[in-house]
Amino acid sequence: MTARFITFEGIDGAGKSTHIAALTERLSARGAVVVNTREPGGTELAETLRGLFLHSGMDSLTEALLVFAGRRDHLQRVIEPALAAGQTVVCDRYTDASFAYQGAGRGMDLAVLTTLEQWVQNGRQPDLTLWFDLPAEMAAARRAAAREADRFEQQDLEFFERVRAGYAARAAGAPQRFARIDASVSVAEVAAQISAVMESRGW
Ligand SMILES: Nc1ncnc2c1ncn2[C@@H]1O[C@H](COP(=O)(O)OP(=O)(O)OP(=O)(O)O)[C@@H](O)[C@H]1O
Ligand SMILES: Cc1cn([C@H]2C[C@H](O)[C@@H](COP(=O)(O)O)O2)c(=O)[nH]c1=O
Protein backbone atom coordinates (compact mmCIF):
# COMPACT_ATOMS: atom_id res chain seq x y z
CA MET A 1 0.00 0.00 0.00
CA THR A 2 1.15 3.53 -0.75
CA ALA A 3 1.24 5.84 2.26
CA ARG A 4 -0.57 9.11 1.59
CA PHE A 5 -1.21 12.18 3.69
CA ILE A 6 -4.22 14.21 2.53
CA THR A 7 -5.42 17.37 4.27
CA PHE A 8 -8.61 19.42 3.99
CA GLU A 9 -8.36 23.18 4.49
CA GLY A 10 -10.55 26.25 4.21
CA ILE A 11 -12.33 28.88 6.26
CA ASP A 12 -14.96 27.75 8.78
CA GLY A 13 -18.14 26.61 7.05
CA ALA A 14 -16.46 26.00 3.68
CA GLY A 15 -17.89 22.47 3.56
CA LYS A 16 -14.85 20.28 4.34
CA SER A 17 -16.57 17.93 6.79
CA THR A 18 -19.33 17.29 4.29
CA HIS A 19 -16.82 15.69 1.88
CA ILE A 20 -14.39 13.86 4.16
CA ALA A 21 -16.57 10.75 4.51
CA ALA A 22 -17.08 10.48 0.74
CA LEU A 23 -13.35 10.74 0.05
CA THR A 24 -12.67 8.12 2.72
CA GLU A 25 -15.15 5.75 1.05
CA ARG A 26 -13.58 6.33 -2.34
CA LEU A 27 -10.06 5.60 -1.06
CA SER A 28 -11.20 2.56 0.95
CA ALA A 29 -12.96 1.15 -2.12
CA ARG A 30 -9.60 1.32 -3.91
CA GLY A 31 -7.90 -0.73 -1.18
CA ALA A 32 -6.46 1.97 1.09
CA VAL A 33 -6.58 1.69 4.88
CA VAL A 34 -7.75 5.17 5.82
CA VAL A 35 -7.12 6.92 9.13
CA ASN A 36 -9.49 9.88 9.62
CA THR A 37 -8.25 12.52 11.97
CA ARG A 38 -8.33 16.25 12.64
CA GLU A 39 -6.50 19.28 14.00
CA PRO A 40 -6.56 20.72 16.49
CA GLY A 41 -6.95 17.26 17.98
CA GLY A 42 -6.41 13.69 16.91
CA THR A 43 -4.96 12.34 20.20
CA GLU A 44 -6.22 12.44 23.79
CA LEU A 45 -3.75 15.19 24.66
CA ALA A 46 -4.40 17.22 21.51
CA GLU A 47 -8.18 16.95 21.94
CA THR A 48 -7.77 18.37 25.47
CA LEU A 49 -5.75 21.25 24.02
CA ARG A 50 -8.45 21.69 21.32
CA GLY A 51 -11.05 22.45 23.99
CA LEU A 52 -8.86 25.24 25.41
CA PHE A 53 -7.92 26.48 21.94
CA LEU A 54 -11.52 26.85 20.78
CA HIS A 55 -13.06 28.18 23.97
CA SER A 56 -10.50 30.06 26.16
CA GLY A 57 -9.27 33.59 25.47
CA MET A 58 -5.53 33.86 24.60
CA ASP A 59 -3.16 35.76 22.33
CA SER A 60 -2.04 34.55 18.92
CA LEU A 61 1.36 33.24 20.08
CA THR A 62 -0.36 31.15 22.77
CA GLU A 63 -2.76 29.85 20.12
CA ALA A 64 0.18 28.86 17.93
CA LEU A 65 2.11 27.20 20.77
CA LEU A 66 -0.96 25.19 21.81
CA VAL A 67 -1.80 24.06 18.28
CA PHE A 68 1.79 23.10 17.48
CA ALA A 69 2.11 21.20 20.80
CA GLY A 70 -0.98 19.21 19.87
CA ARG A 71 0.41 18.72 16.34
CA ARG A 72 3.64 17.27 17.71
CA ASP A 73 1.72 14.68 19.74
CA HIS A 74 -0.59 13.97 16.80
CA LEU A 75 2.33 13.44 14.42
CA GLN A 76 4.16 11.13 16.83
CA ARG A 77 1.20 9.02 17.93
CA VAL A 78 -1.08 8.93 14.88
CA ILE A 79 0.17 10.42 11.61
CA GLU A 80 3.73 9.06 11.40
CA PRO A 81 2.85 5.50 12.57
CA ALA A 82 -0.02 5.32 10.06
CA LEU A 83 2.16 6.52 7.18
CA ALA A 84 4.93 4.12 8.23
CA ALA A 85 2.37 1.28 7.97
CA GLY A 86 1.47 2.34 4.41
CA GLN A 87 -1.90 3.78 5.40
CA THR A 88 -3.68 6.88 4.09
CA VAL A 89 -4.15 9.70 6.58
CA VAL A 90 -7.06 12.07 5.86
CA CYS A 91 -6.78 15.04 8.20
CA ASP A 92 -9.30 17.87 8.66
CA ARG A 93 -6.84 20.81 8.85
CA TYR A 94 -3.08 20.86 9.49
CA THR A 95 -0.31 23.47 9.44
CA ASP A 96 -1.72 25.56 6.57
CA ALA A 97 -4.47 26.49 9.05
CA SER A 98 -1.85 27.89 11.45
CA PHE A 99 -0.42 30.10 8.69
CA ALA A 100 -3.91 31.15 7.58
CA TYR A 101 -5.53 31.73 11.01
CA GLN A 102 -2.69 32.70 13.36
CA GLY A 103 -0.54 34.22 10.57
CA ALA A 104 -2.86 35.97 8.12
CA GLY A 105 -5.93 36.16 10.38
CA ARG A 106 -4.33 37.26 13.68
CA GLY A 107 -1.28 38.93 12.12
CA MET A 108 1.37 36.73 13.74
CA ASP A 109 4.93 36.86 12.39
CA LEU A 110 5.17 34.17 9.68
CA ALA A 111 8.85 33.61 10.50
CA VAL A 112 7.87 32.38 13.98
CA LEU A 113 5.32 30.00 12.46
CA THR A 114 7.95 28.77 9.99
CA THR A 115 10.33 28.03 12.89
CA LEU A 116 7.60 26.13 14.77
CA GLU A 117 6.76 24.23 11.59
CA GLN A 118 10.40 23.17 11.19
CA TRP A 119 10.84 22.18 14.85
CA VAL A 120 7.62 20.26 15.20
CA GLN A 121 7.16 18.51 11.86
CA ASN A 122 10.56 17.25 10.89
CA GLY A 123 9.70 18.03 7.26
CA ARG A 124 6.35 16.22 7.24
CA GLN A 125 4.04 17.90 4.74
CA PRO A 126 0.84 16.55 3.18
CA ASP A 127 1.02 14.87 -0.23
CA LEU A 128 -2.19 16.64 -1.21
CA THR A 129 -4.12 19.53 0.31
CA LEU A 130 -7.70 20.09 -0.83
CA TRP A 131 -8.31 23.80 -0.23
CA PHE A 132 -12.01 24.67 -0.08
CA ASP A 133 -12.16 28.26 -1.26
CA LEU A 134 -15.22 30.49 -1.05
CA PRO A 135 -16.10 34.07 -0.03
CA ALA A 136 -16.26 34.69 3.72
CA GLU A 137 -19.83 35.94 3.46
CA MET A 138 -21.06 32.69 1.92
CA ALA A 139 -19.27 30.59 4.56
CA ALA A 140 -20.80 32.75 7.33
CA ALA A 141 -24.29 32.14 5.96
CA ARG A 142 -23.66 28.37 5.93
CA ARG A 143 -22.33 28.43 9.50
CA ALA A 144 -25.24 30.50 10.77
CA ALA A 145 -27.65 27.88 9.47
CA ALA A 146 -25.66 25.01 10.95
CA ARG A 147 -24.43 25.57 14.53
CA GLU A 148 -23.41 27.73 17.47
CA ALA A 149 -20.18 29.70 16.91
CA ASP A 150 -16.89 28.94 18.71
CA ARG A 151 -14.16 31.57 19.41
CA PHE A 152 -12.94 31.58 15.79
CA GLU A 153 -16.36 31.40 14.19
CA GLN A 154 -17.34 34.58 16.08
CA GLN A 155 -14.75 36.61 14.13
CA ASP A 156 -15.95 39.13 11.55
CA LEU A 157 -15.93 38.84 7.76
CA GLU A 158 -12.68 40.83 7.46
CA PHE A 159 -10.91 38.25 9.65
CA PHE A 160 -12.13 35.41 7.42
CA GLU A 161 -11.15 37.27 4.23
CA ARG A 162 -7.63 37.61 5.68
CA VAL A 163 -7.62 33.88 6.50
CA ARG A 164 -8.78 33.15 2.97
CA ALA A 165 -5.93 35.29 1.59
CA GLY A 166 -3.55 33.40 3.89
CA TYR A 167 -4.64 30.11 2.31
CA ALA A 168 -4.20 31.62 -1.16
CA ALA A 169 -0.63 32.58 -0.27
CA ARG A 170 0.15 29.08 1.03
CA ALA A 171 -1.36 27.58 -2.13
CA ALA A 172 0.75 29.87 -4.33
CA GLY A 173 3.85 28.73 -2.42
CA ALA A 174 3.15 24.99 -2.92
CA PRO A 175 1.21 24.61 -6.18
CA GLN A 176 1.98 20.87 -6.60
CA ARG A 177 0.61 20.05 -3.17
CA PHE A 178 -2.50 22.27 -3.22
CA ALA A 179 -5.67 21.68 -5.22
CA ARG A 180 -8.09 24.60 -5.05
CA ILE A 181 -11.70 23.51 -4.83
CA ASP A 182 -14.36 26.09 -5.70
CA ALA A 183 -16.50 25.54 -2.60
CA SER A 184 -19.14 28.13 -3.52
CA VAL A 185 -21.05 25.65 -5.70
CA SER A 186 -23.43 22.79 -4.80
CA VAL A 187 -22.36 19.75 -2.76
CA ALA A 188 -22.55 17.59 -5.91
CA GLU A 189 -20.38 20.01 -7.89
CA VAL A 190 -17.79 20.15 -5.10
CA ALA A 191 -17.75 16.32 -5.00
CA ALA A 192 -17.13 16.26 -8.76
CA GLN A 193 -14.15 18.60 -8.39
CA ILE A 194 -12.65 16.37 -5.69
CA SER A 195 -13.13 13.28 -7.89
CA ALA A 196 -11.39 15.08 -10.75
CA VAL A 197 -8.41 15.93 -8.53
CA MET A 198 -8.13 12.33 -7.34
CA GLU A 199 -8.43 10.97 -10.88
CA SER A 200 -5.78 13.37 -12.15
CA ARG A 201 -3.40 11.81 -9.61
CA GLY A 202 -4.50 8.24 -10.33
CA TRP A 203 -5.79 7.90 -6.73
N1 LIG B 1 -21.63 23.04 -1.24
C2 LIG B 1 -22.47 23.39 -0.29
N3 LIG B 1 -23.52 24.15 -0.53
C4 LIG B 1 -24.35 24.56 0.47
N5 LIG B 1 -24.21 24.19 1.77
C6 LIG B 1 -23.17 23.42 2.07
C7 LIG B 1 -22.25 22.98 1.08
N8 LIG B 1 -21.30 22.21 1.69
C9 LIG B 1 -21.61 22.19 3.00
N10 LIG B 1 -22.73 22.90 3.23
C11 LIG B 1 -23.39 23.13 4.53
O12 LIG B 1 -22.64 24.17 5.17
C13 LIG B 1 -22.50 23.90 6.57
C14 LIG B 1 -21.00 23.85 6.90
O15 LIG B 1 -20.44 22.71 6.27
P16 LIG B 1 -19.27 21.85 6.95
O17 LIG B 1 -19.57 21.62 8.41
O18 LIG B 1 -19.02 20.67 6.08
O19 LIG B 1 -18.08 22.91 6.84
P20 LIG B 1 -16.60 22.80 7.41
O21 LIG B 1 -15.70 23.38 6.38
O22 LIG B 1 -16.29 21.43 7.85
O23 LIG B 1 -16.65 23.78 8.65
P24 LIG B 1 -15.68 23.81 9.92
O25 LIG B 1 -14.29 23.81 9.44
O26 LIG B 1 -16.01 25.10 10.60
O27 LIG B 1 -16.02 22.60 10.77
C28 LIG B 1 -23.24 22.59 6.83
O29 LIG B 1 -24.55 22.89 7.27
C30 LIG B 1 -23.30 21.92 5.46
O31 LIG B 1 -24.43 21.09 5.30
C1 LIG C 1 -5.48 23.50 12.90
C2 LIG C 1 -5.83 24.91 13.24
C3 LIG C 1 -7.14 25.29 13.39
N4 LIG C 1 -7.45 26.57 13.67
C5 LIG C 1 -8.87 26.96 13.84
C6 LIG C 1 -9.67 26.85 12.59
C7 LIG C 1 -11.06 26.58 13.08
O8 LIG C 1 -11.69 27.83 13.36
C9 LIG C 1 -10.83 25.84 14.38
C10 LIG C 1 -11.05 24.35 14.28
O11 LIG C 1 -12.39 24.11 14.12
P12 LIG C 1 -12.95 22.97 13.09
O13 LIG C 1 -14.41 22.98 13.35
O14 LIG C 1 -12.31 21.68 13.47
O15 LIG C 1 -12.59 23.37 11.72
O16 LIG C 1 -9.48 26.07 14.74
C17 LIG C 1 -6.45 27.51 13.84
O18 LIG C 1 -6.73 28.67 14.14
N19 LIG C 1 -5.15 27.14 13.69
C20 LIG C 1 -4.80 25.88 13.39
O21 LIG C 1 -3.58 25.56 13.25
pLDDT-based confidence at residue 149 (cuts at 50, 70, 90): confident
Whether 147 has a pLDDT exceeding 80, the answer reads: no
**pLDDT tens sequence across 92-130:** 999 999 999 999 999 999 999 999 999 999 999 999 999
Q: What is the pLDDT of residue 122?
A: 94
Atom of ligand 2 nearest to the CA of 38: 14
Q: What is the pLDDT of residue 94?
A: 98
Whether 148 has a pLDDT exceeding 90, the answer reads: no
Element (H, E) at 37: strand 34-38
Which residues have any ligand 1 atom within 6 Å of their CB? 10, 12-18, 142, 145-146, 186-187, 190
DSSP single-letter state for residue 43: S
Q: Is the complex ipTM higher than 0.90?
A: yes
Please state, in angstroms and rounded to a whole number, the distance separating the CA atoms of residues 148 and 82.
Answer: 33
CA-nearest residue for atom 13, ligand 2, is 12
CA-nearest residue for atom 5, ligand 1, is 142
